[in-house]
Amino acid sequence: MNYPLETVLLAFGLTLLAGLNTGLGGVISIAKRNPGPQFLAGSLGFSAGVMLYVSMMELVPTGIESLAKNWEEKLATWVGVGAFFAGIAVIAVIDRLVPEPMNPHEPDAISDRQRKQRQAAMMKTGTLTALAIGIHNFPEGFATFVAGLEDAKVAIPVAVAIAIHNIPEGMAVGVPIREATGSRRKALVWSTVSGLAEPAGALLGFLLLMPFMGPTTLGVVFAAIAGVMVFISLDELLPAAVATGRHHTAIYGLIAGMAVMALSLLMFL
């Protein structure tokens, strides 16, 4: 189907602006000059809450709903759940293949060697988080772009809602990267780059994937990425938050992250 150039540019512009909002989350993650254990615990807990809530309350149900467009509902549910655990299995294998620099449950160390190990652990957390969010944003960007092609009145509120919930996603990337590198610039760059998966998804989807991207493919992708994000939250983000020694702050951050993501998703309704 051929679309007018101005329609394509509008749809792509909306997707780009929504994706770049992860950079705003990165700005928030670097706003505090010298973050202490309490800020780190709350921020990492917040990031975990964001990822857990969007995975279980949005990605898995959306994936199953998409699968059900082609398959009987019970089979679609089984496939969706299977894809969810397949995503967990894949990221667990990747996690095992990446050398573990340290146990995140160990108390804070004082030696330079152990400090470097902790920084390496946070870098691994930030990298995996950026990867998961980037993959998750890819079909999200494609979906926003398609909505823009079909109806701008629908696409604009969708893009605004996605932009809002990209802010905490940007924080989820920026906080561990800043802690690992000590660089605010790198935290901001990584946060912003993870959001660029949305316009990339729009562009590649338009050029290559439109003929092949059906409900089954999207359903499996959404459910699998949910599994990836849940694993990262439980295996990386939460242990790192608790390891700061601020257990309650980590849990409060977790709940706050869930609440913020819930509010952003409600804007779709």
Ligand-binding annotation for 165, yes or no, is yes
In one-letter notation, the amino acid at residue 149 is L
Ligand-binding annotation for 166, yes or no, is yes
CA pair distance 89, 237, nearest whole angstrom: 18
Ligand-binding annotation for 65, yes or no, is no
CA 150 to the chain's CA centroid = 26
Number of alpha carbons in the 13 Å side-chain half-sphere of residue 213: 18
Q: Could you tell me the two tokens for 198? A: 């949305």
CA pair distance 124, 169, nearest whole angstrom: 17
Ligand-binding annotation for 73, yes or no, is no
Task: From 96, 51, 105, select the one nearest 240 (Cα to Cα).
Answer: 105
Give the single-character DSSP code of 69. Answer: T
CA pair distance 142, 238, nearest whole angstrom: 30
What residues form the annotated binding site? 137, 140, 165-166, 169, 198
What residues form the annotated binding site for Zn(2+)? 140, 165, 169
What residues form the annotated binding site for Fe(2+)? 137, 140, 166, 169, 198
